Structure 1
């Protein structure tokens, strides 16, 4: 090889290394600053080549070490809400299922969530269902999961919460409780969770709606729900110190009669709860799903759940006569989606699946877009918008 040819190759190699270094620097800078376009166009499409459960685990580990973009935007008073005697700096929360084991609470608050819900947590550790158990439906912007309440158990999570130097001006923490797969008494599992996690929780969620634990959804039946909630509420009321609000999380796949029955139970003593989360994943499969994994068993979340979830929020808001705060979840990926759920009757909104497609900056984006929508409609606060499309006021929740 001649000297001139070697010089050309040397320059070409130098150029490639320089471009690669610049590209890497741009990616690192963008990932830590939360550049929305970079996440949506480059980082998250690259993550899509990783096994979905491995990608989920990686995201939790990054957040656990605070290797996430910090939301440095100024708090917007229009997004602030007061519920359960707590101040929510904004109405966008992390849904249960992302941080199942209480590993990355601080990291999730760092990216801008107004509240974080961890779990579901079962009394005893259990592995959940066999892998593969998480599937991306890329064409549908959806996910199907059948994790099956994989949990490290009460004691491990309590130890983490005890040792964590947490929650100074961060946000509201919810803890989602589940039952063990082999448990013979669901009520005992939930009561145990209430007693153990009450000192750490700003609210507790009784999850009776996951489709991946056999028999769990039967607890939404009128008789079964009464029996369960009576014991749970009694256990909470007997606590001598912290008595956190109790919420119940319901399914999207409910008949009109089942919704009426649930509303009748949760609005009357001694079963009355402090709020309801609407809704969990769906076992239904819309006909227009296009992705290859659409027939996998499990709960469907993401874009295809959006309309069903919003309609269920509207129905439950009407059935409960606006007496209970609703946390709306299902298919939220932008400010418009959140706004629709709020106007349907949700006081707060949660996200999960959208993170898998747009990454951590989606939280900041939703907050910004929601604030703009409120201003465009001359609405001063989130609480003023709750139930506008259902004809109810939210003043009684303050």
Structure 2
């Protein structure tokens, strides 16, 4: 389109959008960046006078882009030119178009400019233009660039470090339970080893074991003693011992002896049952710690071995200082008074004299002590077991 082109009939000026009409805006500088127009009224009038004829404004409204007054002579002169004469006119028009597009802010379209021209400005150019103006609003993300106080930064870092170094509670609980279960399990297993026919055979056949002054030989002791030990670990009733007779046909055990062995059986079976439950729980604890806590099994068994050593050394010291007092207090702890004392000619005393209980105590203490020492050695927290040796090797491989 040029100046010689006929104007269409009944062509009306485009009506400005009421939301974008800036004719009633205040002259205050604070609104200059919103309208995209010069800040003073005199500057706006000068710009309107230099805007050119109505045809240029109409073309700009139709989407052809704003044409400045300086571009109109170049366009008119180059309308009939050919070759190189048309190229300078196009370049001048392009520069005028880009100048007008830069004057319009992103998202703010001035009156008489097309939306296409307003959308040519990039976000970075709009941000730079707002920052260069003395009146601009901060970007929405400007608050992220504000650094909090040093105290707040240190507090957050401390909380982050504490959360990173905090260990779960469940593995610690299982480690403590494993450490408490271990000495009880060792004691129960040692008692089970003593209450067996094998230990009876070793005791009755070892040199120095006192004989029976009332007629029992080693074979009689082994036979009657095996019945007594078997009764402690089976589910038979008191008749298992009450119906036994000796060679002469008389009852082997008195009623008081059978009643006491029934009490002993209740204590032994309770201990075996508790030991079985603790073994199952210990297996669960070991399986859990192997999956959730590196070195948790080792630490639990190490602590349990220390507890076992403390218990067995304490009990051994009491037994050595006064065996008779220790034996009496042990029976008072589990049995009613008067139900566990017998005469020397009674069958229980003839089968299990005082030396038998001393040897049983020594064997129980020795087994627990040996197992605790082996566990302590195998779980001792060396640098390799704690993983420190691997860290040292990796550090040595790193060049200085």
Give the helix-richer structure, 1 or 2.
2
Give the strand-richer structure, 1 or 2.
1
Which structure has the higher relative contact order (CA within 8 Å, separation 6+)? 1
Q: TM-score, normalised by structure 2?
A: 0.22
Highest Rg: 1 or 2?
Answer: 2
